[in-house]
Amino acid sequence: MNIQKTTLGGGCFWCLEAVFLRVPGVVRVVSGYAGGHTNNPTYKEICTGNSGHAEVVEVEFNTQVIDYSGILKIFWLCHDPTTLNRQGNDVGTQYRSVLFTHDPEQEKIAIQSREEAQKNFTDPIVTQIAPIPTFFPAEDYHQNYFALNPGNPYCRFVIVPKVQKLEKHLLN
């Protein structure tokens, strides 16, 4: 197996985690924080917006099943990359759209992918692309949140439509 890693931010990490856990070839997804200026941030600190971190997911995937470009196609599909520091009712810099790349090749592919994705949006894409800073895993209760809390109203009304959109996309 050839495993590659990428780190993505596109709103609430529960949403991205739920989506990417369903993608064939994805072997692991960890919710966490990256891009800020404090070490070992907590969810409480992230929520203030003062730490500078974004909610992100670290995605490990088998490149023999899905390549980095395929991961990015799903990334553009599962959130709105044209809204600055916002996804739906989630507002703040911690919900920004960001691609943290793990090597120069990922950076090149990410830039090309953003340019290609722009064709699908009227408004400009505001997604940042930057080398991965330190990744901090989120607290245990954030991991696999959707699967463990399917009755939660946020899960039912925000995450379920994203998962359904992915499933429809994968069937086409």
Ordered by start, the domain boundaries in the chain are: 3-171
- Tell me the average pLDDT across 147-170: 89
Q: Does the annotation mark 12 as catalytic?
A: yes
CATH class of 3-171: alpha beta
* Residues whose CB falls within 8 Å of the CB of residue 66, separated by 6 or more in sequence, listed in order: 23, 24, 25, 26
Pick the catalytic residue: 12, 15, 78, 155?
A: 12
pTM of the model: 0.94
Sorting pLDDT into bands at 50, 70 and 90, what band is 1?
confident
Residue 66 has pLDDT above 80, yes or no: yes
Residue 171 has pLDDT above 90, yes or no: no
pLDDT, tens only, 95-118: 999 999 999 999 999 999 999 999
Residue 166 clears pLDDT 90, i.e. is over it: no
Instruction: Please identify which residue in the block is written with the tokens 């600055």.
Output: 84
Sign of CA dihedral 164, 167, 169, 172: negative
Strands (E), 46-167: 54-62, 86-87, 90-91, 97-101, 128-131, 135-137
Q: Is pLDDT of 165 > 90?
A: no
Grade residue 167 by pLDDT with cuts at 50, 70 and 90: confident
**DSSP string for residues in 88-125:** TTEESGGG-EEEEESSHHHHHHHHHHHHHHHTT-SSPP
